């Protein structure tokens, strides 16, 4: 009886090896000693990078760290120069988790979205001298606007932008500089990612006017690369960490994160090149 059981186990193990299934846990364990996390440079309370170092902070990062607590897996920050490049690296599996991202049909092909754990609306920042009161994107026809590369405003807004004259710039700081230099009439940003920053203040600038669109409201998600070597290891724990933090606890985490961000040093925004 025992001999037959050993033979059965041997045959089962051989079959799993042949299918490439048996070594998964061991391979994943060795490949997942580090989980690489990235996000937008300045997106409080969800995620931001502390200057001058590359250390990442925010609610999204805290959720990932909580999910992997006690596993021996190190969460490390990855910073790239442009947001569209960050997304491309995540799609390729070079980055494991994006700490804050809108969900779109196209992105869902390469990324597994968890959440949402927050919401955000689109803000239209225009030159005050134009006297705009924007409640709908159709009012921007005939004007010259800008948005950041890789910064999707969600499927609905991106569809509306196809009929507008909008350029894509590498970074929101460049858009701000172009707007101040009157090279743009307006720019589109998130109400957090564009309006709550350390390098420049839109809300306190009398030369600028902000209109936050009431619709649509987009969810802010954690996104795990489907190409990540850690995908099957980290997906479940991150989903559980978000479920455990739902409600008042998550609201408290956002308030604490925003307070930490506002205590940080200010940075000077670059002037536009002539």
Give the per-residue pLDDT at 163.
93
Give the per-residue pLDDT at 30.
55
Write the CATH number of the domain with boundaries 2-118+220-262.
3.40.190.10
User: In the predicted model, what is the mean pLDDT of the chain?
Assistant: 83
Reported confidence tier of residue 244, pLDDT bands at 50, 70, 90: very high
Please state whether the predicted TM-score (pTM) of the whole model is above 0.75.
Answer: yes
Structure tokens at 99: 């700490």
Give the per-residue pLDDT at 192.
82
Say how far residue 59 (Cα) sits from the centre of its chain. Answer: 11
Instruction: Give 120-218's CATH code, choosing from 3.40.190.10, 3.30.70.370, 3.30.70.920, 3.10.20.740.
Output: 3.40.190.10
| 204-225 CB burial, b ≥16 within 10 A, e <16 | eeeebbbbebeeeebebbbbbb
The H-assigned helical ranges of the chain are 2-19, 24-31, 59-67, 83-91, 105-108, 155-161, 172-180, 231-244, 248-262
Domain ranges of the chain: 2-118+220-262, 120-218
Q: Is the dihedral of CA 252, 101, 204, 57 positive or negative?
A: positive
Say how far residue 192 (Cα) sits from the centre of its chain. Answer: 12
Say how far residue 242 (Cα) sits from the centre of its chain. Answer: 16
**Helix, strand or coil for residue 96?**
coil
| Average pLDDT of the segment spanning 141-160 | 88
Per residue in 158-210, pLDDT tens? 888 899 999 998 888 899 999 999 999 999 998 887 777 777 778 888 999 99
For residues 186 and 155, the answer to whether their CB atoms sit within 8 Å is no
Indicate if 120-218 has the same CATH topology as 2-118+220-262. Answer: yes
**Of 141, 65, 121, the residue nearest 96 (C-alpha):** 65
How would you class 262 by CB atoms within 10 Å of its CB: exposed for 0-12, middle for 13-18, buried for 19 or more? exposed
């Amino acid at each position: 009886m025992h001999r037959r059981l050993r033979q059965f186990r041997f045959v089962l193990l051989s079959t799993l090896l042949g299918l490439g299934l048996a070594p998964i846990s061991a391979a994943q364990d060795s490949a997942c000693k580090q989980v690489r996390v990235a996000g937008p440079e300045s997106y409080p309370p969800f995620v931001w990078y502390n200057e001058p170092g590359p250390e990442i902070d925010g609610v999204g990062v805290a959720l990932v760290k909580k999910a992997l607590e006690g596993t021996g897996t190190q969460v490390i920050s990855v910073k790239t120069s442009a947001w569209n490049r960050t997304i491309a690296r995540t799609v390729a599996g070079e980055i494991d988790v994006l700490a804050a991202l809108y969900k779109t049909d196209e992105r869902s092909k390469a990324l597994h979205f968890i959440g949402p754990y927050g919401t955000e609306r689109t803000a239209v920042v225009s030159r005050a001298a134009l006297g705009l009161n924007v409640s709908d994107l159709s009012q921007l026809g005939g004007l010259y606007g800008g948005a950041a590369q890789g910064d999707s405003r969600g499927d609905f807004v991106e569809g509306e932008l196809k009929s507008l004259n909008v350029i894509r710039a590498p970074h929101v700081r460049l858009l701000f500089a172009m707007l101040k230099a009157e090279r743009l009439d307006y720019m589109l940003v998130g109400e957090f990612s564009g309006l709550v920053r350390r390098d420049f203040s839109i809300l306190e600038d009398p030369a600028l006017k902000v209109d936050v669109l009431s619709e649509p409201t987009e969810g802010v998600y954690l996104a795990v690369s489907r190409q990540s070597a850690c995908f099957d290891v980290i997906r479940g724990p991150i989903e559980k960490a978000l479920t455990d933090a739902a409600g008042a606890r998550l609201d408290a985490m956002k308030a604490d994160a925003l307070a930490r961000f506002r205590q940080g040093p200010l940075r000077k925004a670059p002037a536009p090149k002539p």
